[in-house]
Structure 1
Amino acid sequence: MIQKNQNAITNCTAAALFLGFSGVASAQGEFSVGVFSDYIDNGESRSGNNAVVQGAFEHSHHTGFFAGTAISNLSNDSGDEFHGHEIVPFVGYGFAAGPVDLELAYEYIATPDVSGATYEGEAILGASVGPVSAEVGYITNAHDRDAEGSVVYAIGAGHEFMPGVSVDGAVGYDDPDDESGTAFWELGMSREMDQGTISLTYASRDESDAQNLFVAGFSTSF
């Protein structure tokens, strides 16, 4: 979902793999907020290499249904094409099938105050077994008709090798409907503290002009 920064808000995003698998839990609400030196989206910057502040609220029900909204600024540079905000309401349902946790979700990604406002929906199917997660996202209802039918595949895993210290990574494939696809990858480390979680993430794409992104962040939830 939104926040394709690793170890980020909803992971709106790859450590938990773009969705934080909700599963079946007691009814509860959670607020999250984070500050990151960049906004990673499928291995590239979505904020023009500018820092972002991101927040989210998610309410989960004991039946497995969940809903919420995430928001991010896109740039600190008022002259940047992406200056503005990204708002992502989402709904979904998570359940267990034996050892596999499954999740079905839909998110609506809107940037109402950027130059040339954009919007698109994404239907998401996710699955996780232990530390390994996989996800498929299908783009629909997009303002850019060329994006309709695009698919993003990703698989990732995480491991806590010391108390409170974890490494995680993901690889994916961005498959636009109208052109050849591109692989992307992310690798990160995070440290949980009483005040929140600090993280460092490396990300890039398999393109000749791709940037090597190194993103630091801090997030907390309550």
Structure 2
Amino acid sequence: MKKSLLQAVTLSSTLLLSSTAFAEVSANIGATSNYLWRGVTQTDGAVAVQGGIDYAHESGFYAGTWASNVDFGDAATYEADFYAGYSGEFGEDFTYDVSYLYYAYPDADSSYDFGEITFLLGWKWLELGYSKVVNADSDVSGADSETDWSYLQANVSFPLTEKVSLGVHYGYSQGDVVKNIFSETYSDYNVSLSADTDVGTVSFMVSNTDLADDDAKVVLGYSYSFDL
């Protein structure tokens, strides 16, 4: 499925936290040969240009915004995401992350903005997650109050070398909203390789779903992150 909002969040956080506490703001830009969200193309199989700004505080609080072009065959041309969350560590090698993410399509002629809460639990190379839609516009849900839409995921990441990593992902989308959109619940899965270079991160991914008539997709990506 990332400036004004970020500035507002940053300002409010700064007022609440010690002025000596460490915080950083970073940005990222990138491109992908096909923008996939949970295994489904958001650009009709075409290239996407993407970027975002992130704020992170040493307490574990973070917030950000991210955007990408999209193509759903209607008036919508871009997606703008806004999110905030809290992450940390506990025990030995365990991590957690709780966040809220709002997906917005400002120039769409339909009402399909929505937001979801995500819980992630990690251990070394394994991460498990659960996401639940908590608010959805009527053209997403089919009804103003319908938010029966959740997502389960499992991710593993293995370093192959100092700069190259292998990733494997499995996800399952379920709920009445999913059935309204796709006519069925479905699974998505992918295998990816990513390599860190002096000029950014490049990636290669093969992704597929078990949706009827869906085919495997090969996706090439590039991203570059920098501090502000």
Shorter-chain TM-score range? 0.7 to 0.9
Q: Which blocks of at least 5 consecutive residues in structure 2 are unaligned?
A: 3-20
- Alignment match, 1:171: 170
Q: Residue deviations 1:74-110, cap 9 Å, x none?
A: 14xxx93264110011010112221311111001101
Asked whether the equivalents of residues 53 and 73 of structure 1 are also in contact (C-alpha less than 8 Å), the reply is yes
- Alignment match, 1:7: none
Q: Secondary structure at 1:118's aligned position in 2? A: coil
Instruction: Work out which structure has the larger RCO, using CA pairs closer than 8 Å and 6 or more positions apart in sequence.
Output: 1
Q: Secondary structure at 1:163's aligned position in 2? A: coil
- CA shift for structure 1 position 28: 1.2
Q: Residue deviations 1:115-135, cap 9 Å, x none?
A: 424200010101111111111
Q: Secondary structure at 2:107's aligned position in 1? A: coil
Q: After TM superposition, what 4+ stretches of structure 1 lie above 6 angstroms from structure 2?
A: none
Q: Are 1:151 and 2:147 matched, yes or no? A: no
Q: Are 1:44 and 2:40 matched, yes or no? A: yes
C-alpha distance in 2, partners of 1:218/1:95?
Answer: 27
**One-letter amino acid matched to 2:23:** A
C-alpha distance in 1, partners of 2:75/2:187?
Answer: 23
Asked whether the equivalents of residues 125 and 157 of structure 2 are also in contact (C-alpha less than 8 Å), the reply is yes
**One-letter amino acid matched to 1:57:** I
Asked whether the equivalents of residues 29 and 225 of structure 2 are also in contact (C-alpha less than 8 Å), the reply is yes
- CA shift for structure 1 position 193: 0.5
Q: Are 1:55 and 2:51 matched, yes or no? A: yes
Which residue, 86, 94, 101 being the options, matches 2:95?
A: 101
Which residue, 183, 205, 212 being the options, matches 1:208?
A: 212
- Alignment match, 2:187: 183
- CA shift for structure 1 position 163: 2.2
- Alignment match, 2:161: 162
C-alpha distance in 2, partners of 1:82/1:191?
Answer: 36
C-alpha distance in 1, partners of 2:215/2:148?
Answer: 26
Asked whether the equivalents of residues 44 and 211 of structure 1 are also in contact (C-alpha less than 8 Å), the reply is no
- Alignment match, 1:15: none
Q: Are 1:195 and 2:195 matched, yes or no? A: no
Paired residues, number: 197
Q: Percent identity?
A: 24
- CA shift for structure 1 position 166: 1.1
Which residue, 121, 128, 135 being the options, matches 1:134?
A: 128
Cα 1:200–1:139 change in 2 (3 A) is: same
Asked whether the equivalents of residues 76 and 105 of structure 2 are also in contact (C-alpha less than 8 Å), the reply is no
Q: Which blocks of at least 5 consecutive residues in structure 1 are unaligned?
A: 3-24
- CA shift for structure 1 position 136: 0.7
- Alignment match, 2:115: 121
Asked whether the equivalents of residues 99 and 117 of structure 2 are also in contact (C-alpha less than 8 Å), the reply is yes
Which residue, 76, 85, 102 being the options, matches 2:78?
A: 85
User: TM-score scaled by structure 2?
Assistant: 0.81
C-alpha distance in 2, partners of 1:50/1:116?
Answer: 22
| More helix as a share of residues | 2
C-alpha distance in 1, partners of 2:121/2:151?
Answer: 14
Asked whether the equivalents of residues 76 and 106 of structure 2 are also in contact (C-alpha less than 8 Å), the reply is no
Q: Secondary structure at 2:45's aligned position in 1? A: coil
User: TM-score scaled by structure 1?
Assistant: 0.83
